[in-house]
Structure 1
Amino acid sequence: MTTTLEPCPNFIAGDWTPTNGGGTPVFNPSTGETIAECPVGSVADANAAVEAAHAAFPAWMETPPVERARILGRFKVLVEDHFEDIARCNTREHGKTLVESRGDVKRGMEVIEFALGVPSLLMGDVLENIARGIDCEAIRQPLGVCVGITPFNFPAMVPLWMYPIAIACGNTFVLKPSEKVPLTAIKIAKLLEQAGLPKGVMNIVHGGREVVDALLTHPKVKAISFVGSTPIARYIYETGTKHGKRVQSNGGAKNYVILMPDADVENSTRGVIEAAFGCAGERCMAGSTAVVVGGAEKTLLPTLIEATKRIKVGPTDRETQPDMGAVITSQHRDRVLELIEAGVKEGAKIPADGRGVKVTEAPNGFYVGATILDHVQTGMTVAKEEIFGPVLNVMHMEDLDQAIELANRSFYGNGAAIFTRSGKAAREFKHRVNCGMVGINIGVPASMAWFPFNGWNDSFFGDLHMQGREGVQFFTQQKVTTSRWFSYGEGDIWHTEAKKAHV
């Protein structure tokens, strides 16, 4: 039976524009079937989206912040009403479990909730009499056309990191979603349209590098937000800033999870399993390296290995849900398997091996079973490269100092976590570890909407992070006015009439 492909239109100036198709196949990773084709896109498409956003900007900037917030309030209600439908679309095109997709949508909704407070967040500062008879005020104004370029791993959450705050601040927006997962972004944008957003304020354009480069260099684009791998994040930052854009560019990571000898075995095992294998390891906050310290090798590691072996892998697009779904494409599956093989060849042990996993009910899906590589050394390929799959490296250190030193050698700096009962060890770790987000007995310390998603080092390029107050600062610029008045002007009717009355 031939599957009817879902449409994948551009959204420009309020119109859903059909495309010719013939682009990148969009798969259901659980089954391997093609469910849509994402168009390649063109420079003309990108330019049209930017021009639409530019044309819509003056009126949207002048729309009072409280009115902008009311539209986002209606949008939030619509997302709530269609929550399950969005989550199922997310699961179908990404492959993650329904529980994970619901979390994906929920975390995006939290950013909408944060953006609803924009009237308070945009309030400026005033100081009377900074000098005799001179007043000063600082206000925040929007930038103009902003662009979001998003990855495949969180089809709902990552775009929602960007455009609700940008739009609430009075900007207009062009979204270029991943060509691997465009359908969730389209579904959510239709709800924003239904909420009453004026035409041209939000636009979607599909495509690859040609479209990206057109957006990075367009003279009417003022700001770029990006999430993806570190090499591309660096390219986005360097190209965007070279062309005068404000840029926030999130890259990859190699996040360390420190397991201390005193850690609670049951809760720590659960936390590490979620950190390493949640979303099949396809996230920049994955706890991809467990550092076993001292006696934890005997108390915690055996339990962790057995729990990994019990992880059930299977299709996520049906009612009976597995513990873990497929990876995004067959090519990505093959790359993950190649990296596992490289680890074994370079001397790592493999106490939990997911390479030969069989899913009889979905034999064409893109599956890799949960895998542990033990006794990984710093020079190994798997220790240096971001695997972005369901693979946990295990390294062994004698004490906390060695573990922190190991983590701090990484070029990345998204997150790190420690599992311990010791307040002293936890304090030492959070104070000394060289990364932007720290978990204490939490394996995935990703910030919620009210705080910045705070990558460091080669995990982030830019100055102002996504989410929270930094997100508002990124999407606005300050204007400072200093004023002095010498006397009433001759055209001041009130003063003239008052003077006559007094006489």
Structure 2
Amino acid sequence: MNAVIDTNAAAANDLPLTGHLIGGRPVTDAHRLQEVWNPSIGEVGSRVAIAGKATVEAAIAAAQAAFPAWRATPPAKRARVMFRFRDLLEQNADRICELIGREHGKIAHDAAGELQRGIENVEFACAAPQLLKSEYSRNVGPGIDSWSEFQPLGVVAGITPFNFPAMVPLWMFPLAIVCGNTFVLKPSERDPGAALYVAELLHEAGLPPGVLNVVNGDKEAVDTLLTDPRVQAVSFVGSTPIAEYVYATATAHGKRCQALGGAKNHAIVMPDADLDNAVSSLIGAAFGSSGERCMALSVAVAVGEDTGDRLVAALAKAMETLKVGAFDDGSNDFGPVITPQHRDKVVGFIDSAQRQGARIVVDGRGPKVDGCAHGFYVGGTLIDGVRPDMDSYRSEIFGPVLQVMRVGTMQEAMDLIDAHEYGNGTCIYTRDGEAARYFSDHIKVGMVGINVPLPVPVAYHSFGGWKRSLFGDLSAYGPDGVRFYTRRKTITQRWPSAGVREGSQFSMPAFG
């Protein structure tokens, strides 16, 4: 199978077509085609088949048909498929990273980092026999044993964003599948190639047809997954307004749902911070992947005017060497944003900050990139004097923009963070252990770093924010992921002695 499938419709336009994967077979059904851009050069690179309701329902039906046999497959055999899948991901890493770069614009070294974090989740899923071990208690009462099992849900679905086209799907379907579920993935239609290719590698590793299905689509496809009664659970990552819609719709239709939304991640810089290291890590955390990360550090909160002055001067100096450009030049620090519309949105936030009184220290609007005049670029931008009432502060910019705010105390900084509607990630730069402990204990944010700018948990912990950054009770991957994709069933068993007749008992039984 090939991740990009040529059809007559595509050939007529001299563009490759990305289709679907249903029941282990490539499918090109589409009620329309949509262009997929190469954002580095600002040209259409391929087209994607947008699935209508009938195509999505066919994928759900394939998953439902595959579920009984897959559920009955021992966890150790499911894990062996994941072991082979892991090897294939590593062997084909260059191809996956090329697809990410060509459709998303992510520089090759950043794409490789994304893929590695995804592979770590596959490695966690390889532990299925251990993860699914039951809890057993013998003799909870006279001759009575009790145990809990973790059973699969059935057909589950994942809806993933454009900014991590390989990693976020790998947060979802490997763990769901080793737990015994079957899966329908709807990746972003803006950069669908990597997700489809990764799914094909899983089939090459020995996954039975129908256990994982991929459909490309838009709101119609999403709504079909959210309302179809055969789908038992939905995982989502994206913006907060859409996360809220997905959660409300899915739960209204009786489904379990985890919906991860947006973020406004702050870094507190204390007066005693190691400023050189803080600046170095802030630069990477703010501008890596063009700021198109839900964990991007987009606000630096300086405690004290002197700290703010030194921080802004050091950031501006460090940004002089930032290099933005095409995905296939490894010397670039970051690439374009995903679409021209998104570029204009990011620039609009910079414009609004300037109109509302902030100071543009480093201006990334309209950068010149040799050989890529039509690419969707925004250069690294540094804004000082940002206030909580500014549009650029209240909203998630999702671009290479770092804003600086100034406060008098650490508590003021924490109050600022706690007051924001998002609570995804945050960090503090300090040498003071007492301050760091107080911060981590009391800040109202789900993921916290101490001198760590991107506190993204490793695969055997779980990922998720607080407040309007997460809708649902369970976070993504790790232990929460196992609980999300399984149902607990508790069984209490007794075998009476032969020939012994027992009388009826009308009081509530008490064992032990």
With normalisation by structure 1, the TM-score equals: 0.95
Is structure 2 residue 283 aligned with structure 1 residue 273?
A: yes
Classify the secondary structure of the residue corresponding to 1:248.
strand
How far is 1:84 from its partner? 1.5
Classify the secondary structure of the residue corresponding to 2:157.
strand
| Residues 456 and 88 of structure 1: CA distance in aligned 2, closer, same or farther (over 3 Å) | same
Identity %, equivalent residues? 49
The residue number in structure 1 matching 2:430 is 420
Is structure 2 residue 490 aligned with structure 1 residue 480?
A: yes
The residue number in structure 2 matching 1:302 is 313
The residue number in structure 1 matching 2:3 is none
1: CA distance between counterparts of 2:103 and 2:491?
50
The residue number in structure 1 matching 2:125 is 115
How far is 1:488 from its partner? 4.1
The residue number in structure 1 matching 2:191 is 181
Classify the secondary structure of the residue corresponding to 1:313.
coil
Residue of structure 2 aligned with 1:435, choices 445, 461, 466: 445
Is structure 2 residue 355 aligned with structure 1 residue 330?
A: no
Check conservation: 1:315, 1:321, Cα contact below 8 A.
no
How far is 1:21 from its partner? 8.0
Unaligned runs of 5+ in 1: 491-503
The residue number in structure 2 matching 1:33 is 43
1: CA distance between counterparts of 2:142 and 2:164?
54
Is structure 2 residue 360 aligned with structure 1 residue 354?
A: no
Residue of structure 1 aligned with 2:233, choices 223, 241, 246: 223
Unaligned runs of 5+ in 2: 1-11, 501-512
The residue number in structure 1 matching 2:75 is 65
The residue number in structure 1 matching 2:181 is 171
Amino acid in the other structure paired with 1:214? T
| Residues 3 and 290 of structure 1: CA distance in aligned 2, closer, same or farther (over 3 Å) | farther
The residue number in structure 1 matching 2:224 is 214
Classify the secondary structure of the residue corresponding to 2:366.
coil
2: CA distance between counterparts of 1:278 and 1:70?
35
31-40 vs 2-11, greater mean Cα deviation: 2-11
2: CA distance between counterparts of 1:31 and 1:356?
15
1: CA distance between counterparts of 2:422 and 2:274?
28
2: CA distance between counterparts of 1:345 and 1:212?
38
2: CA distance between counterparts of 1:4 and 1:322?
30
Is structure 2 residue 398 aligned with structure 1 residue 379?
A: no
2: CA distance between counterparts of 1:413 and 1:258?
14
The residue number in structure 2 matching 1:202 is 212
Check conservation: 1:21, 1:38, Cα contact below 8 A.
no
1:31-67 per-position Cα deviation (integer Å, ceiling 9, x unaligned):
0111111222100011100000000000000000000
| Residues 225 and 489 of structure 1: CA distance in aligned 2, closer, same or farther (over 3 Å) | farther
Classify the secondary structure of the residue corresponding to 1:418.
strand
Check conservation: 1:177, 1:185, Cα contact below 8 A.
yes
The residue number in structure 1 matching 2:327 is 316
1:55-91 per-position Cα deviation (integer Å, ceiling 9, x unaligned):
0000000000000000111000100111121112111
1:439-479 per-position Cα deviation (integer Å, ceiling 9, x unaligned):
11111111111111021110000011111111001000011
Check conservation: 2:17, 2:49, Cα contact below 8 A.
no
Q: How many residues align?
A: 488
Check conservation: 2:236, 2:258, Cα contact below 8 A.
yes
2: CA distance between counterparts of 1:432 and 1:373?
28
The residue number in structure 1 matching 2:457 is 447
| Residues 3 and 366 of structure 1: CA distance in aligned 2, closer, same or farther (over 3 Å) | farther
How far is 1:3 from its partner? 9.0
1:261-316 per-position Cα deviation (integer Å, ceiling 9, x unaligned):
11112211111111111100001101011101113123332111221232111112
2: CA distance between counterparts of 1:132 and 1:488?
15
Is structure 2 residue 12 aligned with structure 1 residue 5?
A: no
The residue number in structure 2 matching 1:264 is 274
Is structure 2 residue 409 aligned with structure 1 residue 399?
A: yes
2: CA distance between counterparts of 1:337 and 1:364?
16
333-342 vs 13-22, greater mean Cα deviation: 13-22
Is structure 2 residue 55 aligned with structure 1 residue 45?
A: yes
With normalisation by structure 2, the TM-score equals: 0.93
